[in-house]
Amino acid sequence: MPKKIIAGVGRKRPQIDIPVDRLHLDPQNPRLPLESQGAKESELLRVLYTDFNLDELADSMARNGYFDEEPLVAIPTNIAVSLVRGGTATPPRQDYLDFINDTSTHFIVVEGNRRLATAKMLLEEALRVRLNIRSWPSLGRTVADDLRVLPAIVYPTRDEVVPYMGVRHIVGIQKWDIYARARYIAKMVEEKKLTLEGIQEQIGDRQNSARKNYVCYKVLQQVQDEFDFDTRTAQSQFSLLLLSLGQGGIKRFLGLPPKWSDIRIDHPIAKKYMPNLKKLYIWMYGEGDKKPVIEESRDITRYLSSVVESEEAVAYLERTGRLQDSYDLSDGEEKMLLKYLVNANAKLSTALGVAHRHKTDEVKQEVSKCAQTVSELQRAVGDQDA
């Protein structure tokens, strides 16, 4: 039996100092917005500055320089297949080490894009002007010299980085936002042809997180493909979808099996249940002039998971958009009526205890309305004493 390769043991990947002009931002960074995936570096710099809060990082770097204790993680560009094999050897072959130390070799930074972007912006005044950065600190000569060369741990290929990135950002303490995790897993499955089981084993995923994230990613992809919705809100609130698909009632509403492991991952939602998926999506995120009925995540577990179990409650929610009332209806109309009557009686009893102190015209008018409503209720239920 061949010896099992353990990703983090015995590899001793080289750490080298690399001039910043040979280090490039990652156009496949999972944290980037979808519309920026694959963009040129000038656009990546703009997005990182606009959306990723680099100001505090800039202040720290301007004061302290770059901490070598946090090396970037990089992969060389245009590496030959023979050199890849040299980089995966233990220890790395000399021809591979010569290649990554060659002054003509450039690198894509797959971990540390915020740090790299900040360093580039601090060093290039023209770049700051183009990005309209006005309040960043200026650099002293010592710090500028320090930032011109950055430490990096070099992997031969992106595939080799998968275990490290997964442990760090999917199950580790520096997790990406939940949609970025899902997109990274999807890329590993669909482009790198890794299995979910293999990914989970490599990153030590005991909670089935990779499968759950990937299934939800594919469900959202079905929404895009089938309904042509703008799913940016859903991407930013991806946790609502993950939470909803963990509810038994909602799984049944979408025709999904109870266990995550039994859900097909290519097209999780069957064609016949796509109308229900459309309803669920709009209830959570809204679409066009339809507003979401979910105000907070607890609405899913408290109310929506029960509403979808009742055709009557679903129809009522579709008509009115009132989630609480739909939940009250989910156990049947009679139970809802009894609940409302019990609540009304309790509140009227409380009002009765203080009414004698408030004999105003306004109070009398509301009491008359209550009496009229009670009389109509008695007639509605056929009370002979009405």
Q: DSSP assignment of 233-268, as one string? A: HHHHTHHHHHHHTTSHHHHHHTT--SSGGGS-SSS-
Nearest CA to 263 among 250, 279, 280? 250
Same domain for 165 and 136, yes or no, is no
Determine contact, residues 111/165, Cβ cutoff 8 Å: yes
Domain end residue (candidates: 141, 156, 171) = 156
Nearest CA to 189 among 200, 174, 178, 205? 200
The rounded radius of gyration (Å) of the Cα atoms in the chain is: 30
Query: Cis before residue 268, ω within 30 degrees of 0?
Result: no
Same domain for 88 and 213, yes or no, is no
Length of the chain: 386
* Domain that residue 343 falls in: 333-371
How far apart are the C-alpha atoms of 225 and 243, rounded to whole Å? 22
Nearest CA to 255 among 240, 275, 241, 269? 269
How far apart are the C-alpha atoms of 248 and 254, rounded to whole Å? 10
| Phi/psi of residue 159, nearest 5 degrees | -60, -35
Domain end residue (candidates: 223, 241, 272) = 272
Same domain for 147 and 178, yes or no, is no
Domain end residue (candidates: 272, 290, 321) = 272
How far apart are the C-alpha atoms of 99 and 157, rounded to whole Å? 13
How far apart are the C-alpha atoms of 263 and 196, rounded to whole Å? 13
Same domain for 81 and 29, yes or no, is yes
Total structural domains within the chain:
3
Same domain for 152 and 19, yes or no, is yes
- The reply to whether 97 falls in a domain is yes
How far apart are the C-alpha atoms of 245 and 227, rounded to whole Å? 19
* C-alpha distances in Å from residue 307, one per residue of 220, 239, 255, 278: 22, 20, 16, 15
Residues in contact with 188: Cβ distance below 8 Å, sequence separation at least 6, in sequence order: 162, 194, 199
Same domain for 67 and 179, yes or no, is no
Question: pLDDT by residue for the chain (386 residues), tens digit each?
Answer: 334 444 444 456 889 999 999 999 999 988 888 888 899 999 999 999 999 989 999 999 999 999 999 999 999 999 999 899 888 888 899 999 999 999 999 999 999 999 999 999 999 999 999 999 988 999 999 999 999 999 999 999 988 887 777 767 676 666 778 898 888 888 888 877 888 888 888 777 888 888 999 999 999 999 999 999 999 999 999 999 999 999 999 999 999 999 999 999 989 999 999 999 999 999 999 999 999 999 999 999 999 999 999 999 999 999 999 999 999 888 745 666 677 777 888 888 888 888 889 889 998 898 998 888 888 888 888 875 54
| Phi/psi of residue 15, nearest 5 degrees | -110, 125
Structure token digits, residue 34:
């979808």
Angle at CA of residue 328, ends 322 and 332, nearest 5°: 120
Same domain for 141 and 62, yes or no, is yes
- The reply to whether 151 falls in a domain is yes
**pTM to 2 decimals?**
0.66
- The reply to whether 319 falls in a domain is no
Structure token digits, residue 356:
């004698």
Same domain for 132 and 23, yes or no, is yes
Same domain for 150 and 167, yes or no, is no
